[in-house]
Amino acid sequence: MIATRSKYFILVAIPLAAIAQEQKPPDPIQWQAGPVNIRPTGFLDWIGEWRSAPTSDSVWTHFARIPLTDGPDEYLGSPGHSRAMVKGTMNEGGWSAAGYYEFDFIDPNRKDPYRLRQVWGEVEHDGWRVLGGKAWSLLRPNRHGMASDTGMMNTDVIEPAYHVGLVGNRRQQLRLTKQRDHWGTAFAFERRSESTGGDFLWKVMHENHAVHLEAIALAGGAARRAFSIAGVVPITSKVRFVTQEFIAHNAAAEALTLVPVRASGGSFIQGIEANVTKRIEVYSYGGLVYGSRSNGNRICREWTIGASRKTPAPGNYGSFVTGFQYSQMDREPWRGGRGAMNYMQVQFRYNLW
């Protein structure tokens, strides 16, 4: 915790010096264990934050529970969003298999610093893939492809909880995927929890070198129904538009649990991302979630602006990222009242690869 009595606290991200000499990147860290190729990766991440109201959160924000009353400013920092991943792959004839394990050190409930994010196994043959384990829900959109470990459209924000308006969490599931160069489809059964059963989901995807579009349908017990469309569309060679639209019956809680389970409603997120230079990116997003009458939130909103700079590490062994994000959000419960909060985050990260 950073102690200060200043009313306003401005954090400035200082980009690291660029490496002038271009050189061939070294091979990734990997080794062979018999027929299995093992490749670890990850990043070290430190996030500093100022909030206009105190919460019980770490740098991971519970969007649905921001304070309804004013309070003193809050300052904090954490390396807990640092993450480690390892993937093992093997090929035999026309078949391939993969196992994936991913964890970080940020527990949203502050009970245990270790948090398992994903763990799954997958087999592939002739473009068909079967995945079993804990992975991103099909409701979470991709930027490209349909994999759960690469290409996710989680926005470019620093915030570990991502952004109001996104849909889909990590779920235990069994998934069947068929993907070609420009299209794909996937079917999944995803378990929500022991008490609420599971859902069947179907996703269709189309993409080319510039555009990625997808549509997702959900059907489950307790008359749960939902539909989502998402996409990444270029505006210019350096500017792109990202979006997800979602409507649900008894399933609006899939929008990051900002409204209660079994509430109906919808959400959206719209964003612009621009590569100003090869190493500097700026972005802005706006998102909203609406829930039907309940004992929880009626509406939650957030808008964000931010920027990041990526610099190769010496010898091109990974990269350094510095970033800045400013967000403003509010929520209105059905029982009355309104809470609003502004916050700023800065990031210093070293990507192993």
Residue 65 belongs to a domain with what CATH number? 2.40.160
- Which whole-number Å values give the CA distances from 74 to 270, 322, 347, in the listed order? 29, 22, 17
pLDDT surpasses 60 at 12: no
Q: Is residue 142 part of a domain?
A: no
Q: pLDDT tens for residues 51-98?
A: 999 988 889 999 999 999 989 999 999 999 999 999 999 999 889 999
Q: Is residue 243 part of a domain?
A: yes
317 vs 280, higher pLDDT: 280
Estimate the share of the chain in helix, then strand, then coil, as percent rounded to the nearest 5: 5, 55, 40
- Which whole-number Å values give the CA distances from 309 to 85, 279, 281, 294, in the listed order? 23, 5, 6, 42
Interacting residues of 111 by C-beta distance below 8 A, sequence separation 6+:
none
Q: Is residue 143 part of a domain?
A: no
Q: Is residue 230 part of a domain?
A: yes
CA distance 308 to 181: 31
Q: Is residue 340 part of a domain?
A: yes
Q: What percent of the chain has pLDDT over 70?
A: 90
4 vs 281, higher pLDDT: 281
Q: Exposed, middle or buried: residue 39 (CB in 10 Å: 0-12, 13-18, 19+)?
A: middle
Backbone angles phi, psi at 140, to 5 degrees: -80, 120
Q: Is residue 21 part of a domain?
A: no
pLDDT surpasses 60 at 8: no
Domain count, the chain: 1
Per the listing, tokens 């061939």 go with 24
Asked whether 262 and 223 are in contact (CB, 8 A), the reply is no
∠ Cα 86 88 92 (to 5°): 170
Q: pLDDT tens for residues 298-309?
A: 999 999 999 999
Whole-model pTM: value is: 0.90
DSSP sequence for 218-274: EEETTTEEEEEEEEEEESSSSEEEEEEEEEEES-GGGTTT-S-TT--EEEEEEEEEE
Q: pLDDT tens for residues 166-179?
A: 999 999 999 999 99
Q: Is residue 263 part of a domain?
A: yes
pLDDT surpasses 80 at 11: no
Write down the pLDDT at residue 7: 38
Q: Enter the tokens of residue 279.
A: 């190493």
Least reliable range by pLDDT among 103-112, 129-138, 172-181, 256-265: 103-112
For the chain, the average pLDDT equals 90
Q: Is residue 86 part of a domain?
A: no
Which pLDDT band holds residue 2 (cuts at 50, 70, 90)? very low
Q: pLDDT tens for residues 258-279?
A: 999 999 999 999 999 999 999 9
Question: Domain containing 221: what range?
Answer: 46-80+150-351
Q: pLDDT tens for residues 191-207?
A: 986 566 899 999 999 99
Which pLDDT band holds residue 119 (cuts at 50, 70, 90)? very high
